[in-house]
A and B are shown apart, each in its own frame.
Chain A
Amino acid sequence: MRIPILKLHNYLLISIQTEIDDQTAIQFQEDLLDKIHKSGASGVVIDLTSVDIIDSFIAKVLGDVVSMSDLMGAKVVLTGIQPAVAMTLIDLGIHLQNVPTALDLEQGLLKLQQELGV
């Protein structure tokens, strides 16, 4: 299973719509970094509106992909984290500090524009 990555101007947009297993998460990490490299995108929004569970493994993969993209020079914003998912992550002790987030896709794009100064 592959998570589709869409390109819009110099941004990449991802909406995760499926149940994520570990392999899909790792594959997504690779695909995204590859796509950043090939497209020269400067900003990425990963929308998690349809994701109803984030466990410690998926949280680690998401946190890592933000740091990895940052190393490559692309800013990533996570959007649409559901209330139940936010509460569960804090119970797990996962705070995802240093990970930029926004309420929804629209706010996420605004945040990227501000951070990138375009």
Chain B
Amino acid sequence: MEPQSCVNIHKEWDIVGARQLGREMAKRLGFGTVDQARIATAVSELARNIYLYAEKGQICFEFIDNIEHRGLCMTAVDTGPGISDISQAMQDGYTTSGGLGAGLPGVRRLMDEFDIHSEIGNGTRIKAIKWVR
């Protein structure tokens, strides 16, 4: 198990930095090119959500490496306004920013495990894992 790597999101360019770090971590864990693209895209969506809705936050990556599992865990945390209706935010095509509304439901499909917690006024925490097959 390696120590985790984190990237702060507070300006638009950090979205690019986050997805590059995500791809680098995925490559080091031995993910193939398709899964690397899935992971980098998921990171990009989570980083953009932080930038758009919360203005700043952090995404941390952690290797999971034990007898049963090998994978990459990413946690996106912000102290933004929170999401009032998570089931609505998880619907394809739902957006409050004029985007495609593909972000959160997309991340859930791109990754193997997905967990979201949000509190109004306190922020949002999303954890997503991709397992090496």
Contact = CB atoms under 8 A, between A and B. Distances in A.
B122 to A, nearest CB: 26
Main secondary structure of the interface of A (DSSP, over half): helix
Interface string B68-102: 00000000000000000000000011000001101
Interface residues of A, number: 22
A70 interface: no
Interface stretch (B41-49, B56-64, B113-121): B41-49
Nearest to B13: A21
Interface string B100-133: 1011011001100000000000000000000000
14 contacts: A21-B12, A52-B37, A53-B23, A55-B19, A55-B44, A55-B45, A59-B100, A60-B99, A83-B34, A84-B33, A84-B36, A87-B38, A88-B34, A91-B109
Given A21-B13, A53-B40, A56-B102, 15 more contacts: A53-B19, A53-B37, A55-B44, A55-B45, A56-B48, A56-B100, A59-B100, A60-B99, A82-B37, A84-B34, A87-B37, A88-B34, A91-B106, A92-B109, A93-B93
